[in-house]
C-alpha cells in the first residue's frame, strides 16, 4: 500500500476561544488535487503551517511522504512548492533576484523553468518587488511555488489579486502538475477555481472536519431549489407561508427540498395554488459549501 503524500492524525492546536484545529484527521494520496475549504478562522492556515513544519503539533501527528513535518522540515521543503496566503517578499530584491535566491536554496541550477513560468503568467521579473502591485507579487509567489516541478504543491489562496485571464492560466498549470503526477493541496475561496481543478474536498468548520467528499458528490448535493410562478404575488406569498424552506418574490416562490421524499408534497402544494411554471436548480458548489456553515438553510 502506498504511503499517503499528506497524512494528518488527530491534529490539535488550541489557541483558545475556539481558535485552532481539533482532532483533525486527513489523508491526501499521490496525484490528487485536493481542496481545503472553509471561511477565515476555520483552521486552514493553521493546518498548512503544521504541514510546512513551521509549528509543532500540540497533539497528534502531521506527515508528508511518511516523514514528520516538524522534524524533517528542511528536507521536505525541497520537495514542496509552497505559496502562503499572506505573501511577504523581500522588497529589496527584484522578482528575478527572488527566484534566483529560492532556486539556490533548493539546489536548482537550471532557471529555464522559472523563465517559462514567468512568461506564462506575463510576469516581468526584472521589476523591483517594492514597486510591484499585489497581483504581480502574487505571480512571483506562484512562480516560486511551481518552478522545479515539485512533487507536492501547497497553495493558500493562490489566485488572490489575479485577473480572470491569469486565473485561467493558473487552472491550466494545475492541470499540467496533475498530469505529471504531482499532488496539490489547494486552499481557496474561489469556488469555480476549486470545481475546475480538484477531485476531492475537505470542509473545515471551527477547526473541525465537517466533511470530506469527492467533488462530484459535493456538487451533486441532494438539495435542490424549485422556483414556481403563480398568478399573482398574493398567491405566491400564501404558498411560501406553507413551506418551511421557501420565500416569495413577486409572483415567484423559491423553495428548497432536501432529498426526494418531500418533493411530492411540494409539488402537491404548488398544484393546490395552481402554479403556472416550474424551474429546478441543483445547488452550486458554493451553495453546498455554505450548508455546513449556516444554521438555517439557504434558499
CATH number at residue 47: 3.40.50.300
Residue 63's contacts (CB-CB under 8 Å, 6 or more residues apart) are: 4, 6, 7, 8, 69
In a domain, 288, yes or no: no
Q: Are the CB atoms for 69 and 53 separated by under 8 Å?
A: yes
Q: Note whether 103 and 207 are same-domain residues.
A: yes
C-alpha cell at 128: 523591483
How far is residue 166 from each of residues 15, 42, 144, 171, 289, measured CA to CA in Å? Answer: 36, 27, 16, 9, 25
**Bridge partners for 262 per DSSP:** none
- Residue carrying the nine cell digits 426526494: 260
CATH number (domain holding residue 250): 3.30.70
In a domain, 277, yes or no: yes
Q: How far apart are CA 181 and CA 184, in angstroms?
A: 10
Using alpha carbons only, what angle is made at residue 99 by residues 96 and 104, rounded to the nearest 5 degrees?
125
Q: Note whether 106 and 230 are same-domain residues.
A: no
Instruction: For CA atoms 162, 209, 217, 7, give the dihedral sign.
Output: positive
In this prediction, residue 295 carries a pLDDT of 43
- Residue carrying the nine cell digits 403563480: 230
Q: Note whether 253 and 161 are same-domain residues.
A: no
Q: Note whether 111 and 249 are same-domain residues.
A: no
In this prediction, residue 137 carries a pLDDT of 96
In this prediction, residue 123 carries a pLDDT of 95
**pLDDT tens-digit profile, the chain (299 residues):** 689 999 999 999 988 888 899 999 999 999 999 998 888 788 999 999 999 999 999 999 999 999 999 999 999 999 999 999 889 999 999 999 999 988 888 777 667 788 999 999 999 999 999 999 999 999 999 999 999 899 999 999 999 889 989 999 999 999 999 999 999 999 987 777 888 899 999 988 889 998 888 887 766 655 678 999 999 999 999 999 999 889 999 999 999 886 555 789 999 999 999 999 999 876 655 566 666 555 433 44
In a domain, 111, yes or no: yes
In a domain, 251, yes or no: yes
Global pTM value: 0.79
Q: Note whether 175 and 277 are same-domain residues.
A: no
Q: Note whether 171 and 114 are same-domain residues.
A: yes
- On the 0-12 / 13-18 / 19+ scale of CB atoms within 10 A, 92 is exposed
Q: Note whether 135 and 261 are same-domain residues.
A: no
Q: Note whether 20 and 158 are same-domain residues.
A: yes
How many domains, the chain?
A: 2
In a domain, 237, yes or no: yes
How far is residue 61 from each of residues 6, 81, 292, measured CA to CA in Å? Answer: 11, 21, 26
Q: Note whether 21 and 106 are same-domain residues.
A: yes
Q: Note whether 228 and 206 are same-domain residues.
A: no
Q: Note whether 214 and 235 are same-domain residues.
A: no
Among 177, 196, 219, which residue terminates a domain? Answer: 219
In a domain, 290, yes or no: no
- Look up the domain containing 231 and give its range: 223-282
Q: How far apart are CA 244 and CA 297, in angstroms?
A: 10
Q: Note whether 152 and 255 are same-domain residues.
A: no
Q: Can you give 9-57 as a three-state secondary structure string?
A: EEEEEEEECCEEEEEEEEEECCCCEEEEECCCCCCHHHHHHHHCCCCCC
In this prediction, residue 125 carries a pLDDT of 93
In a domain, 163, yes or no: yes
In this prediction, residue 1 carries a pLDDT of 64
Q: Where are the alpha helices (DSSP H) in the chain?
A: 44-51, 73-77, 95-106, 112-120, 134-146, 164-179, 191-197, 215-219, 233-240, 263-272, 285-290
In a domain, 74, yes or no: yes
Amino acid at each position: 500500500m502506498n504511503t499517503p503524500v499528506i497524512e494528518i492524525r488527530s491534529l490539535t492546536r488550541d489557541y483558545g476561544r475556539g481558535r485552532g484545529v481539533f482532532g483533525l484527521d486527513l489523508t491526501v494520496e499521490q496525484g490528487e488535487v485536493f481542496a481545503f475549504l472553509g471561511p477565515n478562522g476555520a483552521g486552514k492556515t493553521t493546518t498548512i503551517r503544521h504541514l510546512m513544519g513551521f509549528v509543532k503539533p500540540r497533539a497528534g501527528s502531521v506527515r508528508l511522504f511518511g516523514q514528520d513535518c516538524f522534524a524533517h522540515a528542511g528536507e521536505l521543503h525541497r520537495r514542496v512548492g509552497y505559496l502562503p496566503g499572506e505573501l511577504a517578499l523581500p522588497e529589496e530584491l527584484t522578482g528575478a533576484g527572488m527566484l534566483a535566491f529560492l532556486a539556490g536554496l533548493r539546489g536548482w541550477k537550471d532557471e529555464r523553468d522559472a523563465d517559462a513560468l514567468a512568461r506564462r503568467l506575463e510576469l516581468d521579473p526584472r521589476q523591483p518587488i517594492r514597486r510591484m502591485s499585489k497581483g504581480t507579487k502574487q505571480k512571483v509567489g506562484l512562480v516560486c511555488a511551481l518552478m522545479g516541478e515539485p512533487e507536492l504543491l501547497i497553495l493558500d489562496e493562490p489566485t488572490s489579486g489575479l485577473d480572470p485571464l491569469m486565473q485561467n492560466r493558473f487552472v491550466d498549470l494545475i492541470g499540467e502538475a496533475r498530469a505529471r503526477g504531482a499532488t496539490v493541496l489547494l486552499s481557496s475561496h474561489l469556488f469555480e477555481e476549486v470545481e475546475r481543478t480538484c477531485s476531492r474536498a475537505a470542509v473545515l468548520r471551527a477547526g473541525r472536519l465537517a466533511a470530506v467528499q469527492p467533488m462530484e458528490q459535493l456538487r451533486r448535493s441532494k438539495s435542490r431549489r424549485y422556483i414556481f410562478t403563480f398568478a399573482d404575488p398574493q398567491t405566491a406569498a400564501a404558498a411560501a407561508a406553507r413551506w418551511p424552506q421557501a420565500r416569495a418574490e413577486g409572483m415567484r416562490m423559491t423553495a428548497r427540498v432536501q432529498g426526494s421524499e418531500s418533493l411530492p408534497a411540494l409539488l402537491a402544494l404548488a398544484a393546490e395554488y395552481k402554479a403556472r411554471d416550474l424551474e429546478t436548480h441543483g445547488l452550486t458548489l458554493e451553495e453546498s459549501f455554505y450548508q455546513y456553515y449556516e444554521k438555517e438553510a439557504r434558499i
